[in-house]
Amino acid sequence: MKEILPPLLIMEKMVEKLQSYYPSHEHKKEGTIQFNLKHLEKSIDCYIKSDKESLNFFEGTVEKPTVTVKSSFYDWLDLAGGKLNPFFGVVSGKLKFSGDTTFFKVLPRKQLKNRLIVPVDPVTKFERNPTRYWQIPGKVIILNASPRGENGYTEFYLNPFINGMQKHTEVEMVRLNKFKINPCIGCFSCWMDAPGKCVYREKDDHHKLADKMFEADLTVYAFPIYADGMPGILKNYFDRSVSRAYPYMIEGMNRVRHPRRYINHNHSMVVFSICGFFEMINFEPVRAYFKALAHNRHTPVVGEIYRTTAVGLYGNPFTYKFLNRVLLALSDAGEQIILKGKIKKTTLKTITKKIVGKPKDLNKINEWWDEKKGSGDYNY
Ligand X SMILES: Cc1cc2nc3c(=O)[nH]c(=O)nc-3n(C[C@H](O)[C@H](O)[C@H](O)COP(=O)(O)O)c2cc1C
Q: Give me the residues that bind ligand X (CB under 6 A), please.
A: 146, 148, 152-154, 224-228, 274-277, 282, 310-311
Mapping DSSP to helix (H, G, I), strand (E, B) and coil, where does residue 254 land?
coil
- Other beta carbons within 10 angstroms of residue 331's beta carbon come to 19
Contact, 300 vs 127, CB < 8 A? yes
Consecutive H or E run containing 97: strand 95-99
Half-sphere exposure of 79 (CA within 13 A, CB side): 21
The smaller minimum CB distance to ligand X, of residues 73 and 283, is found at 283
Contact, 323 vs 337, CB < 8 A? no
Rounded Cα distance between 86 and 1, Å, is: 37
Least distance in angstroms from the C-beta of 163 to ligand X: 18
Mapping DSSP to helix (H, G, I), strand (E, B) and coil, where does residue 307 land?
strand
The smaller minimum CB distance to ligand X, of residues 134 and 283, is found at 283
Least distance in angstroms from the C-beta of 122 to ligand X: 38
The smaller minimum CB distance to ligand X, of residues 103 and 156, is found at 156
Distance, CA of 131 to chain centre: 24
N residues, the chain? 380
The smaller minimum CB distance to ligand X, of residues 53 and 228, is found at 228
Contact, 334 vs 164, CB < 8 A? yes
Least distance in angstroms from the C-beta of 306 to ligand X: 10
Least distance in angstroms from the C-beta of 369 to ligand X: 11
Least distance in angstroms from the C-beta of 286 to ligand X: 10
Contact, 223 vs 306, CB < 8 A? no
Instruction: Select from 276, 176, 311 the least CA-distant residue to 231.
Output: 176
The smaller minimum CB distance to ligand X, of residues 61 and 316, is found at 316
The smaller minimum CB distance to ligand X, of residues 137 and 231, is found at 231
The smaller minimum CB distance to ligand X, of residues 184 and 222, is found at 222
- Residues with Cβ within 8 Å of 217's Cβ and at least 6 positions away in sequence, in order, are 137, 138, 139, 140, 264, 266, 267, 268
Least distance in angstroms from the C-beta of 226 to ligand X: 4
Reduced to 3 DSSP states, what percent helix, strand and coil does the chain have, rounded to the nearest 5? 40, 20, 40
Least distance in angstroms from the C-beta of 218 to ligand X: 21
